[in-house]
Copies of this chain bind each other. A is one copy, B any other.
Amino acid sequence: MPRARSRRLDQVYGAIASPTRRAILTALAAGEVNVGRLARRFPVSFNAVSKHVKVLERAGLVSRSVRGREHWLRLRAEPLREASGWLARQRVFWDARLDALEVVLRDDAGGR
């Protein structure tokens, strides 16, 4: 795996490891929101939300367009696609291996 891709994965998984940030993402899935309106929905300070947004932005999951004094946030799907891809590949890989292992174990138990 190329270094850059790996770092991107680090950032994306790190970003979505926080329930607050996952909630922000799902909130953003309904459409563009500015930081203030977004922050009002969460039980933490405005500044905390602003920081979370920055983490999501660094991971490439959110983009920002400044209109006047408001900053409007929008989802970026591409990095999510990569992250989802790694997990999905691993999953099928594991499932195949674990299924195979189970067969071996079952046959082994039945055989003797």
Residues of A within 8 A of B (CB): 6, 9-10, 13-14, 16-19, 22, 25-26, 29, 31, 75, 77, 80-81, 83-84, 86-88, 90-91, 93-95, 97-98
Contacts and interface: CB of A to CB of B under 8 A. Distances in A.
Q: Is the interface of A mostly helix, strand, loop or mixed?
A: helix
A84 B87 contact: yes
Give the number of copies in the complex.
2
Given A10-B19, A77-B98, A29 B91 contact: no
27 contacts: A6-B22, A9-B17, A10-B17, A10-B18, A10-B19, A13-B13, A13-B16, A13-B17, A14-B14, A16-B87, A17-B17, A25-B90, A29-B90, A29-B94, A29-B97, A75-B94, A75-B97, A75-B98, A77-B95, A77-B98, A80-B87, A81-B91, A84-B87, A84-B88, A84-B91, A87-B87, A88-B88
